[in-house]
Chains A and B, each alone.
Chain A
Amino acid sequence: MNLDDLTRTSGEWLRGAGPESDIVICSRIRLARNLATYPFTNRATRSDKTEIEREAKAALAKTSFQLEYLDVHALNPLDRQFLVERQLISRELMQSEGPRGVAIGPEENMSVMVNEEDHLRIQAVHAGLSLYDVWEQINLLDDQLEQQLDFAFSPQLGYLTACPTNVGTGIRVGVMLHLPALVQTREIEKVFRALHKINLAVRGLYGEGTQAFGDFYQISNQQTLGKSELELIKTLNDVIPQIIEYERRARKDLVDNRRQNLHDQVSRAYGVLKTAHQISSEETMHLLSSVRMGINLGLIDDLEIATVNELFIHTQPAHLQKIQGRHLEVDDRNEARAQYLRSRLSPGPDPRTN
């Protein structure tokens, strides 16, 4: 797999399709699995990890999912960061040591990390609210892997994981939402509190460092033991439409009561993104969030949601550096980011061909 080719595309999950895609970016499920006959990754020796990787690679290659394996250990730091920005690997896998990798499926809908916190972290993602489809896919991949690998499993405790917070199903069901209106009207706190009460976790999506990432929030289960996968999925699937409804109502409120302010905010955001000559990552996220909402409310009509979604990823540091084909310090990145945004947002022929 040539990572440079990926700089011109984005994963299917970012293309702004799927049910409720004005608010739901994507649905994601991961399963944590470990091979029964090795220590967990944190206690595994280098030769254990080599063996685990060998077994995993062989099993992954035999599935029907056309997964391509990337040796993360052999990648340079920029490429590792690039994979993190694309959400194909975790920061943990980026920063850890020793034999490890990731198998990536077509359109970036599936990925399997090897020698992360658990030996296997299987992940599937689709655009929009589509948890049951995602489950069907990942369950099938898990079945196929299990025909070749002995997973650590106990009848009472289920799939055994390095951290007891994942034991049982090993499942994390997550839905990523764009909630700019709830953030603006400050109603989001109420939503968070309600979700915590029913044992769901909410976290902001982070870009560089710990800066919040354009009003995106991921809602996911915390409990993994004592409920079936479908029960946990159903919990999420039942609650998400309510949050969508709150966000829609908050947007309608903004349109009804603050239309001029809203229009002004959206147009300024769009204007800055189209014309700036230096722009930080945080400001970009912040403005793109307004623009994204503006498109969904019909205040901007010459820009696709898919483009905005893609810009959230492509304006991150490793992406910019790979697009430019050279190393960039922070200041240079801010210039390169502004230049890239101008080229993608200005009308006329695609300046990328210049």
Chain B
Amino acid sequence: MREKCQRCTKPATYHITDIDGGKVREHHFCDEHARQHLSPQEETEQTGTTPTAAPASSKASSRAAKEPPAAEKRPCPYCQMTFAEFRNAGRLGCPHDYEEFRNELLPLLENIHDETRHTGKFPRRAPDSTERQTQMIELRKTLKQAIDVEDYELAARLRDQIRTLEQEAGR
């Protein structure tokens, strides 16, 4: 029986039983969400230990045993990690891997976040001023939305953030 992950549309490869306040609860997750689920809540994130539950679907185990495609065996020049290794460990080796494995990572990012473009905080020392501008555009858009729904607390904070950026740009 194929079951879907309860957090996304991928097939569920892990079936986890939790005992929660005496109640037994079944979960069905894809690899990604199984790992997320098994790492306890934020402050005790147990991300170093990947799930020990055996993959329930034979498809998952045979896939893991198969030779990864050639592209996935190309190592990052800085940390020597390959994309195949990342698939197994769930952790990248160095910041450059996002560049090195961009093509492989983008679909994954889209799947996890529904988006592939950062619109949040930029380090103040970020070199590229065009990026600051994009961020301003985004902030102003959010500010307008906040005012539209009369969320003035948020609006005030956004305005402060915009002012800070403006000051930096003029520096």
Residues of A within 8 A of B (CB): 28, 30, 34, 36, 38-40, 42-43, 84, 87, 90-92, 95-96, 116-117, 123, 132, 139, 142-143, 146-147, 150-160, 162-165, 167-169, 171-172, 174, 183, 196, 201, 203-206, 210-212, 215, 218, 220, 222-231, 234, 286
Contacts and interface: CB of A to CB of B under 8 A. Distances in A.
A232 B79 CA distance: 32
Nearest to B113: A225
Contact of A43 (B46, B79, B116, B153): B79
A227 B135 CA distance: 11
Given A90-B45, A204-B20, A143 B124 contact: yes
Given A153-B126, A163-B91, A167-B98, A226 B42 contact: no
Lowest 7 CB-CB distances: which A-B pairs, in order? A226-B115, A158-B118, A152-B95, A225-B113, A169-B120, A43-B93, A39-B94
A36 B95 contact: yes
A92 B46 contact: yes
Interface in B89-120: 89-95, 98-99, 105, 108-109, 112-120
B125 interface: yes
B7 A196 contact: yes
Interface string B115-133: 1111111111110100100
A223 B115 contact: yes
Contacts of B37: 203
B91 A158 contact: no
Given A39-B79, A43-B93, A167-B98, A228 B42 contact: no
B115 A228 contact: no
Nearest to B130: A155
Nearest to A228: B120
A42 B89 contact: yes
26 contacts: A34-B95, A39-B94, A40-B93, A40-B94, A43-B79, A90-B46, A92-B44, A123-B43, A139-B121, A154-B95, A158-B120, A159-B121, A162-B92, A164-B108, A167-B98, A167-B113, A168-B113, A174-B42, A203-B37, A206-B41, A206-B44, A220-B41, A222-B7, A223-B114, A225-B115, A226-B116
Given A157-B109, A171-B120, 8 more contacts: A42-B91, A91-B44, A91-B45, A159-B118, A165-B36, A222-B7, A223-B114, A228-B138
Contacts of A95: 46, 48-49
B60 interface: no
B120 A229 contact: yes
Given A92-B47, A132-B153, A196-B6, A226 B119 contact: yes
A163 B90 contact: yes
A212 B18 CA distance: 9
Nearest to A88: B43
Which residue, of B20, B78, B115, has the highest number of chain A Cβ atoms within 10 A? B20
